Amino acid sequence: MKKILTNTAKIALPLLIAGALLFYMYRDFDFSEAKRILLHEMNAWWLIASLIPITLSHVMRGLRWLITLEPLGYRPKKGNSIDSIFIAYASNVLIPRVGEVSRCAVLNRYDGVPFSKALGTLVAERLVDMLLVLIFVCVMLLTQLDVFVSLFAQTGTNEGALTALFTNPKTYIVMAVVLATCALLWMGLKKTKFYAKIRQMVKGFVDGLLSLRTMHRKGLFLLYTIGIWIGYFLEFYLTFYCFPFTAELGMVKAMVIFAAISLAIIIPTPNGAGPWHFVVISMMTLYGVSQTDASSFALIVHAFQTLGVILLGGYGWVALQVRNKGKKVSPYPPLSQGGNSIK
């Protein structure tokens, strides 16, 4: 029963967050205006064009994953790795963050890559992505500080409340109690048989995490990483040319909005729904776009690109079945023992 409730909460909570934010942003919105813009003002070709860089970005993510798996002795098929990315993003539309699990499951099933090691390499990739995004966001914050201050004021962020929280001794007492409780639980866990299984899983996870240190093609890994995020940005930026009210905003403003989006989508909702709309509408209105136009932009663009993610996921699933039809899955041997080459 407890497991059922936990799984239900994992699905329901992101949907509730997305639903609440969308209701808040569109509670007084005239949807006939979005229909009018969609039918009479939008250039759909730019929406279609925006799918090209995001598709290439997913392809590069799949190729980059192969580089982190190499030091561990596993060389899956390129197609399987790329299709796992398509499926992962489509899975996140249904249940946020489940895509990471589906990625690892695909390579485990079709290429014999241990799940824990695949997950470790995935976390290593995410850490690099996070570092790159933080650098980008910091640059945007420093160069466009006035815009972000306006956004924080608009969202009601209370700097004084945060300061009071971290200067209150009770905060540190609670933190100490939590840490002590965790330590006691850990000491008790070490005495159980379950600990051995957990330790083996953690070892595989750490091996994957440390794969960045021993990978051979670091330059290509970095190149793919930059290319991935350029693809993400271009997917967003090209949609500006769909509408007359965003076509003149320019690349710098698009970069600032994209930086804010990169922070907002940390909140796990289906394909970023809710936080994505909130940030886009809030930032565009700061740049002089009307509330109606900004709301229409967010509604149309997000819906179309979500549909694109789902279609790519469907393609990835079909391609996996065709490519691996009748294949017997067995773990690859380490490279030193004659492991498979990249296909």
b vs e for 136-157, b when ≥16 Cβ sit within 10 Å of the residue's Cβ? Answer: bbeebbeebeebbeebeeeeee
pLDDT digits (tens, 9 = 90+) for 17-76: 888 888 888 988 999 999 999 999 899 999 999 999 999 999 999 999 999 888 888 889
141 pLDDT more than 80: no
- Tell me how far apart the alpha carbons of residues 162 and 286 are, in angstroms, rounded to a whole number: 25
Instruction: List the alpha helices (DSSP H) in 144-210.
Output: 145-155, 159-167, 169-189, 194-209
Q: What is the band of 191 on the pLDDT scale with cuts at 50, 70, 90?
A: low
pTM summary value:
0.76
pLDDT the model gives residue 151: 60
pLDDT digits (tens, 9 = 90+) for 123-139: 888 888 888 888 888 88
Token pair recorded at residue 163: 């300061």
In one letter, which amino acid is 175? M
pLDDT the model gives residue 134: 87
pLDDT the model gives residue 162: 44
3-state secondary structure 263-287: HHCCCCCHHHCCHHHHHHHHHHHHC
- Phi/psi at 68 (nearest 5 deg)? -75, -25
229 pLDDT more than 90: yes
Lowest mean pLDDT among 37-51, 140-154, 193-207: 193-207
In the block, tokens 């023992």 appear at: 337
Q: Is residue 125 within 8 Å of residue 104, measured between CB atoms? A: no
pLDDT the model gives residue 267: 76
Q: What is the mean pLDDT of residues 219-245?
A: 94
